[in-house]
Protein backbone atom coordinates (compact mmCIF):
# COMPACT_ATOMS: atom_id res chain seq x y z
CA UNK A 1 0.00 0.00 0.00
CA UNK A 2 1.43 3.37 -0.98
CA UNK A 3 1.51 6.39 1.34
CA UNK A 4 -1.28 8.01 -0.68
CA UNK A 5 -3.46 4.89 -0.45
CA UNK A 6 -2.77 4.56 3.29
CA UNK A 7 -3.69 8.20 3.87
CA UNK A 8 -6.91 7.94 1.85
CA UNK A 9 -7.90 4.84 3.83
CA UNK A 10 -7.07 6.52 7.15
CA UNK A 11 -9.11 9.59 6.26
CA UNK A 12 -12.05 7.38 5.23
CA UNK A 13 -11.86 5.65 8.61
CA UNK A 14 -11.86 9.00 10.44
CA UNK A 15 -14.89 10.12 8.43
CA UNK A 16 -16.63 6.87 9.44
CA UNK A 17 -16.03 7.60 13.12
CA UNK A 18 -12.72 5.86 13.86
CA UNK A 19 -11.73 6.75 17.42
CA UNK A 20 -8.11 7.52 18.33
CA UNK A 21 -6.62 5.20 20.95
CA UNK A 22 -3.25 4.60 22.61
CA UNK A 23 -0.90 2.67 20.35
CA UNK A 24 -2.38 3.99 17.09
CA UNK A 25 0.30 4.98 14.61
CA UNK A 26 -0.19 8.43 13.12
CA UNK A 27 0.68 8.60 9.47
CA UNK A 28 2.08 11.66 7.74
CA UNK A 29 4.07 12.10 4.57
CA UNK A 30 7.13 13.24 6.54
CA UNK A 31 7.07 11.52 9.94
CA UNK A 32 5.20 8.87 11.87
CA UNK A 33 4.28 8.96 15.55
CA UNK A 34 2.41 6.60 17.86
CA UNK A 35 -0.26 7.87 20.27
CA UNK A 36 0.49 7.48 23.97
CA UNK A 37 -1.14 8.71 27.16
CA UNK A 38 0.32 11.80 28.78
CA UNK A 39 -0.81 14.29 31.38
CA UNK A 40 -1.62 17.90 30.65
CA UNK A 41 -0.96 20.08 33.65
CA UNK A 42 -2.42 23.58 33.56
CA UNK A 43 -0.75 24.67 36.82
CA UNK A 44 2.49 23.82 38.57
CA UNK A 45 0.81 21.01 40.47
CA UNK A 46 -1.12 17.92 39.48
CA UNK A 47 -4.53 19.21 40.56
CA UNK A 48 -6.94 19.23 37.67
CA UNK A 49 -4.55 17.37 35.38
CA UNK A 50 -6.39 15.80 32.48
CA UNK A 51 -5.16 12.66 30.71
CA UNK A 52 -4.86 13.24 26.98
CA UNK A 53 -3.48 11.40 23.98
CA UNK A 54 -0.43 12.82 22.30
CA UNK A 55 2.06 11.61 19.72
CA UNK A 56 5.30 10.16 21.03
CA UNK A 57 8.30 11.13 18.98
CA UNK A 58 11.36 13.35 18.89
CA UNK A 59 10.63 16.96 19.75
CA UNK A 60 7.08 16.35 20.94
CA UNK A 61 6.46 17.12 24.59
CA UNK A 62 3.64 15.89 26.81
CA UNK A 63 0.55 18.02 27.02
CA UNK A 64 -0.42 18.22 23.38
CA UNK A 65 -4.09 17.31 23.01
CA UNK A 66 -3.83 15.22 19.86
CA UNK A 67 -4.81 14.74 17.14
CA UNK A 68 -6.99 17.77 16.59
CA UNK A 69 -9.57 17.93 13.82
CA UNK A 70 -7.94 19.12 10.64
CA UNK A 71 -4.45 18.28 11.94
CA UNK A 72 -3.63 16.30 8.80
CA UNK A 73 -2.74 13.16 10.79
CA UNK A 74 -4.43 9.88 9.93
CA UNK A 75 -4.37 6.34 11.34
CA UNK A 76 -1.84 4.23 9.44
CA UNK A 77 -3.37 0.77 8.99
CA UNK A 78 -0.11 -0.64 7.63
CA UNK A 79 0.76 -0.94 11.32
CA UNK A 80 -0.47 -4.11 13.08
CA UNK A 81 -1.44 -2.37 16.34
CA UNK A 82 -3.45 0.25 14.46
CA UNK A 83 -5.22 -2.51 12.50
CA UNK A 84 -6.08 -4.15 15.83
CA UNK A 85 -7.75 -0.96 17.02
CA UNK A 86 -9.76 -0.79 13.78
CA UNK A 87 -10.87 -4.44 14.09
CA UNK A 88 -11.91 -3.89 17.71
CA UNK A 89 -13.96 -0.83 16.75
CA UNK A 90 -15.75 -2.68 13.94
CA UNK A 91 -16.57 -5.55 16.31
CA UNK A 92 -17.81 -3.13 18.97
CA UNK A 93 -19.90 -1.01 16.61
CA UNK A 94 -21.42 -4.00 14.80
CA UNK A 95 -22.05 -5.75 18.15
CA UNK A 96 -20.31 -8.81 16.73
CA UNK A 97 -17.23 -9.85 18.72
CA UNK A 98 -16.66 -12.63 16.21
CA UNK A 99 -16.47 -10.49 13.05
CA UNK A 100 -13.58 -11.68 10.90
CA UNK A 101 -11.77 -11.05 7.61
CA UNK A 102 -10.99 -13.68 5.01
CA UNK A 103 -8.69 -13.55 2.01
CA UNK A 104 -9.87 -15.14 -1.21
CA UNK A 105 -7.77 -16.14 -4.15
CA UNK A 106 -6.25 -18.86 -6.25
CA UNK A 107 -2.79 -20.14 -7.02
CA UNK A 108 -1.43 -18.95 -3.64
CA UNK A 109 -2.32 -15.32 -4.45
CA UNK A 110 -4.84 -13.21 -2.55
CA UNK A 111 -7.20 -11.57 -5.02
CA UNK A 112 -9.53 -9.87 -2.55
CA UNK A 113 -10.59 -9.63 1.09
CA UNK A 114 -13.97 -9.41 2.74
CA UNK A 115 -15.18 -8.98 6.33
CA UNK A 116 -17.99 -11.12 7.70
CA UNK A 117 -20.28 -9.51 10.30
CA UNK A 118 -23.31 -11.05 12.02
CA UNK A 119 -26.65 -9.78 10.69
CA UNK A 120 -29.11 -10.15 13.56
CA UNK A 121 -32.22 -9.76 11.39
CA UNK A 122 -31.15 -12.55 9.03
CA UNK A 123 -29.40 -14.59 11.73
CA UNK A 124 -26.36 -15.15 9.57
CA UNK A 125 -22.98 -13.64 8.82
CA UNK A 126 -22.90 -11.34 5.81
CA UNK A 127 -19.82 -10.18 3.99
CA UNK A 128 -19.24 -6.51 3.35
CA UNK A 129 -17.99 -6.37 -0.23
CA UNK A 130 -14.66 -7.28 -1.82
CA UNK A 131 -11.53 -5.22 -1.26
CA UNK A 132 -7.97 -5.42 -2.52
CA UNK A 133 -6.46 -5.43 0.99
CA UNK A 134 -7.51 -6.37 4.52
CA UNK A 135 -7.42 -2.81 5.84
CA UNK A 136 -9.79 -1.68 3.08
CA UNK A 137 -12.23 -4.45 4.01
CA UNK A 138 -12.21 -3.44 7.69
CA UNK A 139 -12.66 0.27 6.90
CA UNK A 140 -15.65 -0.59 4.68
CA UNK A 141 -17.09 -2.65 7.55
CA UNK A 142 -16.63 0.34 9.88
CA UNK A 143 -18.46 2.53 7.37
CA UNK A 144 -21.30 0.01 7.14
CA UNK A 145 -21.63 -0.59 10.89
> pLDDT tens digit string along 30-57?
556 777 665 454 544 555 545 555 555 5
- Given this model, what pLDDT does residue 62 score? 41
Which residue ranges make up each domain of the chain?
A: 3-144
Q: Are 62 and 51 in contact (CB under 8 A)?
A: no
pLDDT in tens, 89-112: 999 998 888 888 888 876 666 677
For the whole model, what pTM was predicted? 0.76
Amino acid sequence: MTDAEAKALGLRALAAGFRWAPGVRLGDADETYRLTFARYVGDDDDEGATPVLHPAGDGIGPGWGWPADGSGWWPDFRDAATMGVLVAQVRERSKDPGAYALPYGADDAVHWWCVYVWDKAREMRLHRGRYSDEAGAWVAALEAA
